[in-house]
Amino acid sequence: MNDPDLILLEGIARGDQGAFESLIGRYQGPLHNFIGRYVGDASLAEDIAQEVFIRVFRAARRFEPRTRVSTWIFRIAYNLSMTELDRLRRRQKIREAVEEHGEGGEPACEPAERLELEEELTAALEQLPGNQRAALLLRVNEGLSYREIGQVLGVSLQSVESLLHRARSNLKRYLEKS
């Protein structure tokens, strides 16, 4: 397999700090963007991205090159982001339940400097089901192929095609409404 990242990963497995730094350099941007847009929170993206790299560092020795390294890294990012979103939703439900009983809580406020256009699109993205949002972000923003997206999400090629079709159709509808 002609995967340049595999050379870096082999270096990491041997304890080469330079190889690890290079891999971080190659993926910190794409990971922050994907995770940040997926979870809708840039600061949370930093924590998740750090955890992704720690897991890559720890598992480098055990990596089996059946998939591309990039696909594997995005898969870790996707799984961690899903877990984090679930945790946040559970916490949000608890907070809402507490607020219903009149025990306070500050109202959420959006940063004023956010552009209206970006706000609309971010809100529309957040309305998409998680797997549709992930497929669309991986395709449009990160340029992954259908096969790679299938490996990241753990679904077939047909499912990727269907997810992207529905994601675009839903996003179009949400944007028309807003």
Partner 1 sequence: MDCSQVRRYVSAFMDEELDGEKQNRVAGHLAGCRECAQYFREYARVDARLSELPRIDAAPGFASRVMAAAAEHAAAPEAASPLSRLLRIFAGIFEEITRIFEPGHRPDTRILDEFDDCPPLSMSFAYLNLLQQSPRG
Residues of the shown chain interacting with partner 1 in the complex, contacts defined by CB under 8 A:
17, 20-21, 24-25, 28-29, 32-33, 35-37, 42, 45-46, 49-50, 53-54, 57-58, 117-118, 121-122, 125, 136-137, 139-141, 145-146, 161, 164-165, 168-169, 171-172, 175
Considering the complex, state which of residue 127 and residue 145 has its C-beta at the smaller distance from partner 1. Answer: 145
Nearest distance from residue 46's CB to partner 1, in Å? 6
CB 53, min distance to partner 1, A: 5
**How far is 18 from 11, CA to CA, in rounded Å?**
8
Other beta carbons less than 10 A from residue 175's beta carbon = 12
Least distance CB 77 / partner 1 (angstroms) = 13
For partner 1, give the closer residue by CB, 25 or 154: 25
Residues 6+ apart with CB under 8 A from 78: 38, 134, 152, 153
> CA 38 to CA 134: how far, in whole Å?
6
What is d(CA 109, CA 163) in angstroms, rounded to the nearest whole number? 32
Nearer to partner 1, 49 or 72 (CB): 49
Residue with tokens 């990160």: 142
20 vs 72, which CB is nearer to partner 1? 20
In angstroms, give the least distance from the CB of 150 to partner 1.
11
Residue number with CB closer to partner 1 (21 or 96) = 21
DSSP-derived 3-state class of residue 3:
coil
Distance (Å, rounded) from C-alpha 4 to C-alpha 124?
36
CA 88 to chain centre: 15
Residue 169 Cβ, how far from partner 1 at the closest point, in Å? 8
